[in-house]
Amino acid sequence: MTKTTIVIDYKPKSQEEEAPCAKVKIWDMFKYGMTTICLIYATIFAYLYFNQRNIVFLPSKGLLTPQAYDLDIAQDITLTTDDKLLLTAWHIKADEDQKTILYFHGNAGHIGNRSEKFKTFHRRGFGIFAVSYRGFGNSQGKPTEQGLYTDARTAMNYLLNELNLKPSDIVIYGESLGTGVAVQMATEYHTHALILEAPYTSIVNVAKHRYPYLPISLALKDRFESIDKIGSVASPIFIMHGHKDRIIPISNGMALLEAAKAPKEGKFFDNFGHLNFDFDVLADNTRNFVDRAGTMLVTETVKTNAQN
């Protein structure tokens, strides 16, 4: 029997020969990793873009009548917008010779959740007209920036045409999300005063604060650019903000105050955040500013004329 011998001629590869293969593997891993990261990034961006209005606007349903919130002094009113939507609004009459606050609420909850706040302001003599934005409470439609402006104009027109108030009888008050609506209305109507509680410079800047790794400015449809508008407001402006605000940093309120024209004042509180403002503190400071706003405007006008 003949033996067959197989000889394998094996010559180990040198380091120089193995190096290109290793480099290729590392490059392939790098490309795979970067592709994965880009896909994740694009997925997150696409989700935020197509769902942005569900993220920006957080409407609460289930608004009951004012009486259900122990607010017997309020009248339940239905408004009709120019685009034929029905909105809910509440009206509390002002004491004689007192101002009516046109109230634009924040994102969380609805106007029913602010019933105690309305009572607190009414105890200072103020009237309240609070409109529930489209999509919030029992109001029809879905919220958008332009839609909220339409709702606000509808409320303002009701005050002027149905309640026969003069612009000088009205104080525009914005809370959080509502501050963007309030600033826009104050550029269109010269009222007695503009009050801003925990305001933002723009929704874009708030979103950048929360999502610093995304090109938010390219994606947002509803921007509420208050920082670009507040310089056009002719009414006296009062801003209240808390140093502990983690939702809208206090730097927003300070920037708006800096950008606003005189007469203007700001009050920045050490002990308050975004959601825990003391209603009495808000109402007392609003009362104090509103009482002085007319005189402040006259003083500022005289000062401007003297400079010219």
Q: Is 183 within 8 Å of 230 (Cβ atoms)?
A: yes
Model confidence over 104-121: pLDDT tens digits? 999 988 999 999 999 999
Model confidence over 148-179: pLDDT tens digits? 999 999 999 999 999 999 999 999 999 999 99
Q: Show Cβ contacts of residue 47 under 8 Å, excluding neighbours closer than 6 positions.
A: none
Res 299 pLDDT > 90: no
- What's the whole-number average pLDDT of the chain? 88
Please give the pLDDT value at position 18. Answer: 57
Please give the pLDDT value at position 5. Answer: 59
Check if 176 is active-site: yes
Q: Is 265 within 8 Å of 240 (Cβ atoms)?
A: no
Q: What residue segments make up the domains of the chain, in order of their start?
A: 20-50, 60-307
Q: Cite the beta strand spans of the chain per DSSP E.
A: 74-80, 86-92, 100-104, 127-131, 170-175, 193-197, 237-242, 264-269
Res 227 pLDDT > 70: yes
User: Token digits for 294?
Assistant: 């007319």
How far apart are alpha carbons 258 and 232 in whole angstroms?
13
Model confidence over 55-100: pLDDT tens digits? 788 899 999 999 999 999 999 999 999 999 999 999 999 999 999 9
Higher pLDDT residue, 198 or 299?
198
The backbone torsions φ and ψ at residue 238, rounded to the nearest 5 degrees and listed phi first, read -130, 125
- Out of 33-47, 197-211, 234-248, which region has the weakest mean confidence (pLDDT)? 33-47
Angular region, 141: left φ>0, alpha ψ -120 to 50, beta rest:
left
Check if 122 is active-site: no
State the burial class of residue 187 (Cβ atoms within 10 Å of its Cβ: 0-12, 13-18, 19+).
Answer: middle
Q: Which of 174, 161, 163, 192 minimizes the C-alpha distance to 94?
A: 163
Res 23 pLDDT > 70: no
Q: Show Cβ contacts of residue 132 under 8 Å, excluding neighbours closer than 6 positions.
A: 63, 87, 88, 89, 105, 110, 111, 138, 139
Q: Which of 117, 257, 150 minimizes the C-alpha distance to 198?
A: 257
Out of 176, 202, 226, 235, pick the active-site residue: 176
For residue 44, the SS3 value is: helix
Please give the pLDDT value at position 219. Answer: 77
Check if 105 is active-site: no
Fold of 60-307: Rossmann fold (3.40.50)
Q: Which band of pLDDT confidence, cut at 50, 70 and 90, is reported for residue 38?
A: confident
